[in-house]
Structure 1
Amino acid sequence: MELHAAIEQLHNRCAIYTSAPTVARLLDLIGWTSNTDLSQAVLLEPCAGEGSILLEGVRRLLHSFRSHGRISSLVDLEPRIRSFELHPGAARSLRRLLRKLLIEENIPSQLADRLVVKWVSERDFLLEKPGRATHVAANPPYVRWKNLPAILAGLYRETLPAVSTRGDLSVAFLNKMQEWASDGGSIAALTSDRWMFAQYGDSFLQDTKSRGWTITVADERPSDPFMKTVGAYSAIVLLTPSGKPVHQLPSNKREKAQAMQRELLARHGSLHDAGCTVRVGPALGAGRTFILDTDDVAEVEDELIRPFLERKDLVGSAVDTARLRVVVPYDRRGVLIDPAEWPGFKTWVSRRREALSKRSQFRGKDQYWRTIDAVPTLWSTGPKLLMPELCNEPFVTIDRTQAIPAHSLYAIWPGEWPIDVLQRVLNSGLLEITAKAEAPALKQGWMRFYKRFLLRTPLPQWSQLSNNGREGLSSDVCEKFEETFEGLFGFVPGATSLA
């Protein structure tokens, strides 16, 4: 694909512009305000689009000059603004809008023409040598690296550090912005929130902190951040040099939850430290194709049939009977079978070949009959706790059926903890702390869990608790349990104060 076609494709995917209230929020956060003397400041807009951030930034700059008695000359104004826009059509449109604004602000037309050329660079910000900026405000593009046009992805990977070329392109923009603002500048960005919760985001955050930056989530779910409704979840993040005071950022629920989590992890350790095992249900593929119809039970060999649980089955404190059965091509030792040795399975699965062969993992291969993930013997050990990946109130349910859970469920094996005690403790607020501290917030109060979040849930080792502690948490007397729980974790069960 030629470069101009790649740029057009990227623009069509990512051209989602920032709403006026969000623009004001970004500029306010970094202190680019009309009542501030901006005569020595430099505003960078790395992905200007059609100019919602840039135009308001210029308007504030001109008002600042006037309120502080500065002369609006080329030599004084030209160094104050740097912006980049890769797409030629968007850059032309931006220059027209910028010139119109300058004329409306009583800038002479000749000076306006020169400023428009100087302030809007039709170049790729990610490939530019870093300059200097004191203030950076941006709405970087949200796009996964795997969805980038190949020619652009190749250029970026040749030029950018590896830590910024994984996951989401917005991370590369944030990294490049830091290079521009490295001399004490501040950065505010409206960005996809997914990188903050993904594994590649952890590496980027650690690298950012190691270079002397502090990242603060100024707004974890801004209201109507874009000019049109989109499906992406966004957040406003503020990057400042470590030690630089951050103003106008009242503590939010996530920060309170993170503080509670840090304190409890320091005191007790984590669910991982306590010896618990966490797995997500195996991916089978092809929707419900491996779910066994009642009429087919007698056809498939019994050793290949297992109980199966979905989100809707997690009703009450425990599941004792599985509603569904699933067929898996693994024997009870967890070994992948040879269908030729299992005639019932071979006949059953051959009738589903068309659906199973559509899966990309097995397209054109002879092993269409396999599940995407292996099904080891671990799934047949139990009991275990099950928790939905998506929930609005985190909870765990005991599975006593030794079932294979759906891919949308997490399983927790309790290690040395008695499973009913572990369930009671987790459901009394520890999972809520993890959710509020770690999990991405979705619409209508829903949250998405990941395995590594669950493993960071505060939990002491059962063997390290005192006899009184173990007896109290195991007690059927509600008052005794509550007293023991509060003594260990510092809050009454179910009352974390994070609601």
Structure 2
Amino acid sequence: MNQQAIASILLLTVVGILSPGRRLRTKVQSAYSHVMRREYFQYTFIRATLNFFPTLPQDELSQAVDEWESSHGEKGEVFTRAEVVDFMIDIVGLNDTEPLGNWRILEPSCGHGDFLIPIVKCLLQKLAKDRNVPEPSALADMIVAFDIVKKNADETRNRVKKTLEAFNFSNKQANSLANQWVRHGDFLQANIAGVFTHVVGNPPYVRVENIPKTLLDAYRSQFHTMGDRADLYVPFFEKSLSLLENDGKLCFICTDRWTKNKYGRRLRKLISEKFSFDLFVDLYGSDAFKTKVLTYPAITLIRNRRPTATLLCHDPVLDVQLSQVIRQALLSGTTHEHPQLQFRKDVVDGEHPWLLGSADQVELVKKLEERFVPLENAGCKVYIGAATGNNEVFIVDKSVTLEKSRKLPVITASEIKTGEIKPRGRFIINTYDKDGVVDLSEHPLLEAHLTQYEDQLKERHVAKNSPSAWYKTIDRVYPERARRPKLMIPDIKSELTVVYEEGRFHPNNSIYYICSDEWDLHALRCVLISGIGILFVHTYTTKVANGFMRFQAQHLRRIRVPLWNSISHEMRSALIDAGKIGDRQRCAEIAARLYDLTSEEKELLSDC
């Protein structure tokens, strides 16, 4: 941190503390946050000063917390199953094999102690094994746990006390440690000294509309990541990360929505720039919690060090064997070809959505699959362009003289990659007619061209299977399709590009294309670029290098649409107009009405 930044922070701190008015305190808070965003996490020694000048006076904030605690409002109390807790404690390194060192552990939302009790047991077992059981006073600062609900904090404190007594601590010693370790209060507003080697837990998942406005305003002014409609767990990430020591580890279980949607972009950017996103365990379909939840969670392991590749784990069975495999993979940097594990360097992508396989997106896809029909069932036929087996021979420019019936204007993916057609004036050779492969002797110009490359063409697999037709292209060329209006989609792209073509070109095999006698193609383009298309493709496709996706026919055919005759004339006109313009945001708005999406589902589309 440079001297100018330090001076700015100290000045703002003093002004903030001394300022009596709420408006001025808010402006100071905003300026402070701006400085911090530039110098983020180089300011551990002064981070706690934020709590000295909250947007509201401390007594008003405390009252707001008390009122929320005593209300029946949602507080994100979803508790984690024991096997999941054990798995997380193991992969974060709080296990028998890791050296004790200077462990200092934070549990920011302890609930009934589902994480804290196993952590305490692990710590005590480790001390006993090492034959290094210090005086209780030496343990007082080793664990910090919070809960905003007093009943939860009291219950956890009592469980900690019983656990300590089972390890031969006296009643007085157990009471003292339990009271020091477990704190009743708002973690986000608490002034916490020092840093931690490990942060483990299940942060509360409370939607923004369920957070009292007074507290919401305070959280938003204090935590930069809590923008847009960020849920409560987002600032829990931010504050917990800010309390990690160098090489410290955070392991949370919560919804994975922040990795994809708009409100998580600031958190993604923060992690991208300052941390290593070491592990993502997708728990889609797993019963990770003691009660049913609407969104499936994921386990994330984030480390305060330079970024490395991310280890992805899908469809896991959370047991000791898998946790050991994951720990070994994280240490060695290799998965040893474990079928459930994959290292990827392209996961973390700044504030952009991270391609991890969102459970929310999968749920939306399933919902749409139940309500609408596949693309081809709605009269929209998906084709693939013609593969030749040798483009240098079969794709030619106007300098090659051929019979007019033997060539068609061709378009390739590179000519539409920008979203506009930029043809190079080339042609694809047509070696077929209505009866099949043509007779070369009837087309002397074609024969003269192809016989120059006879030896080369005969080496192709298609030629070896049909020696007498050694000159044919792999795929048949269809002049009637070239003359039809179509939507063209490049095969490999990082986003879904859909280009309308009026009927002049034949696509080659780097392009998939859609023709329809029922749907207006401009209207269909609106649906595809609205986010609906990429939603389905991303769910089903296999990603290739550099985060690109394959927009293949098998994936495009999975896209669900309404039947054209079920759509009102007003909606048809809106779809057509938006599709012609190609404004993705406008298309997303119209498609949301067409598919009757909820606000959360609209947000998913906006992130596609």
Aligned to 1:410: 528
Match of 2:191 in 1: 129
Match of 1:433 among 543, 556, 562: 543
Which residue type is aligned with residue 520 of structure 2?
Q
Tell me the equivalent position of 1:115. 177
Q: Point out where structure 2 has 5 or more consecutive residues left out of the alignment.
A: 1-62, 309-325, 330-334, 349-370, 382-484, 490-495, 497-511, 550-557, 560-608
Match for residue 373 of structure 2? 312
Residue pair 1:222, 1:236 contacting (<8 A) in 2 also: no
Using structure 1 for the length normalisation, give the TM-score. Answer: 0.54
Residue correspondence of structure 1 range 12-31 to structure 2 within 5 A: 12-31=74-93
Provide Cα deviations, 1:343-371, integer angstroms capped at 9, x if missing partner. xxxxxxxxxxxxxxxxxxxxxxxxxxxxx
1:145 CA displacement:
1.9
- After superposition, give the CA deviation of every residue in 1:182-212 in whole Å (9 maximum; x if it has no partner): 4221011001111111123233212222124
> 1:158, CA displacement in angstroms?
2.6
- Select the residue among 316, 327, 346 that pairs with 1:247: 327
Counterpart residue identity of residue 85, structure 2: V
With over 3 angstroms needed to count, the CA separation of the structure-2 counterparts of 1:211 and 1:49, relative to structure 1, is same
Whether the 8 Å CA contact 2:74–2:210 is kept in 1: the answer is no
2:347, 2:184 → 1: CA distance?
Answer: 46
Q: Using the TM superposition, give the Cα deviation of residue 437 of structure 1 relative to its aligned residue in structure 2, in angstroms.
A: 6.7
Shift of 1:140: 0.6
1:61 equivalent in structure 2: 123
Q: 1:16 to 1:162 in 2, by over 3 A?
A: closer
Partners of 2:82 and 2:114 within 8 A in 1: yes
User: Which residue pairs with 2:158 in the alignment?
Assistant: 96
Q: Please tell me whether the aligned partners of residues 84 and 125 of structure 1 are also in contact (alpha carbons under 8 angstroms).
A: yes
The one-letter amino acid paired with 1:97 is: R
Distance 2:266 2:278 in 1: 14
Cα distance in 2 between the residues matched to 1:72 and 1:25: 28
Q: What amino acid is the match of 2:169?
A: I
User: Does residue 1:237 correspond to 2:300, yes or no?
Assistant: yes
| Amino acid corresponding to residue 247 of structure 1 in structure 2 | R
1:454-465 paired onto structure 2 within 5 Å: none
Offset at 1:180? 0.9
The alignment's C-alpha RMSD in Å is 4.3
C-alpha separation between the residues in 2 aligned to 1:84 and 1:407?
A: 51
- Quick check: 2:104–2:141 contact (8 Å CA) kept in 1? yes
Q: How does 1:190-339 map to 2 (within 5 A)?
A: 190-221=253-284, 223-243=286-306, 247-249=327-329, 250=335, 311-312=372-373, 314-316=375-377, 318-319=379-380
- Contact 2:197–2:249 (8 Å) recurs in 1: yes
Task: Report the Cα distance in structure 1 between the residues aligned to 2:341 and 2:260, rounded to whole angstroms.
Answer: 15
The yes-or-no answer on 1:75 pairing with 2:137 is yes
Mean CA deviation greater in 15-24 or 96-105: 96-105
Structure 1 residues 383 and 238: CA distance shift in structure 2, 3 A: same
Question: 3-state SS of the aligned residue for 1:204?
Answer: helix
TM-score by length of 2: 0.45
User: Radius of gyration: which is bigger?
Assistant: 2
Aligned partners of 1:93, 1:407: CA distance in 2, in Å? 57
Runs (5+) with no aligned partner, structure 1 = 263-309, 321-381, 390-394, 414-421, 440-447, 450-499
Cα distance change of structure 1 residues 62 and 141 upon mapping to structure 2, 3 Å threshold: same
* C-alpha contact 1:47 1:139 (8 A) present in aligned 2: yes
Q: Assess if the C-alpha contact under 8 Å between 1:385 and 1:399 holds in 2.
A: no
Shift of 1:399: 4.8
Secondary structure of 2:137 counterpart: helix
Matched-pair identity in %: 22
Offset at 1:151? 2.1
2:98 aligns with: 36
Per-residue CA deviation, residues 116-138 of structure 1 (Å, 9 max, x unaligned), is: 11000112111123431101101
* Per-residue deviation, 1:30: 1.4
The question of whether the paired residues in 1 share the 8 Å contact of 2:282 and 2:299 is answered with yes
